[in-house]
């Protein structure tokens, strides 16, 4: 869908209101999915990231055609809530890698906390 069509369909010439935000995001997610599928390679993080870059250029184009523009905060919200969810579905190897990285991080964090607690306990005053 072209940018002018999206703007006309949602009537967002003066900006994206909260009422239209969900519908706007749904259209953009469909666009992102279509771009990604056009690459033909399933489970490709590189192709997904290229698709996101293409979608971002469409975002910028829409932003330029709207009076108030689209904020970076709205893009960040869209990325965090919608794009990451889609990337998890379409790129399971990426999702698995992120999950294992997070588990390793949590493990290291717990070890640091245990060391810190042990160090604090070794300096504690024991009257007995």
Report yes or no on 44 lying in a domain: yes
The per-residue pLDDT for 76 is: 96
Cα→Cα distances 121→1, 90, 117, Å: 63, 47, 6
Domain count, the chain: 1
| 16 is a domain residue | yes
Give which of 11, 82, 92 is closest to 52, Cα–Cα. 82
109, part of any domain: no
Q: Does residue 49 lie in a domain region?
A: yes
- pTM, to two decimals: 0.75
Reference 60, options 44, 74, 40, 45; nearest CA is 74
pLDDT score of 59 more than 70: yes
Residue 7's CB is within 10 A of a number of other CB atoms, namely 17
Could you report the per-residue pLDDT of 21-57, keeping only the tens digit for each? 889 899 999 999 999 999 887 878 899 999 999 999 9
Q: Which residue has the tokens 């640091």?
A: 112
Domain assignment present for 17: yes
Residue 77 lies in a domain: yes
Residue 102, pLDDT score: 93
Backbone torsion region of residue 124, taken as left when φ is above 0, otherwise alpha when ψ lies between -120 and 50, otherwise beta: beta
Please, what sign has the CA dihedral across residues 83, 56, 45, 99?
negative
Which H or E run contains 26? helix 18-39
What is the domain extent for residue 35? 3-90
């Amino acid at each position: 869908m072209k940018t002018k069509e999206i703007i006309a369909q949602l009537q967002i010439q003066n900006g994206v209101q909260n009422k239209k935000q969900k519908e706007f995001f749904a259209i953009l997610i469909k666009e992102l999915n279509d771009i990604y599928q056009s690459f033909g390679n399933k489970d490709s993080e590189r192709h997904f990231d290229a698709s996101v870059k293409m979608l971002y250029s469409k975002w910028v184009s829409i932003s330029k055609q709207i009076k108030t523009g689209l904020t970076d905060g709205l893009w960040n919200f869209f990325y965090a809530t919608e794009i990451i969810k889609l990337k998890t579905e379409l790129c399971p190897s990426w999702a698995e890698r992120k999950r294992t990285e997070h588990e390793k991080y949590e493990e290291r964090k717990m070890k640091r906390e245990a060391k810190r607690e042990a160090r604090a306990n070794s300096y504690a005053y024991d009257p007995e």
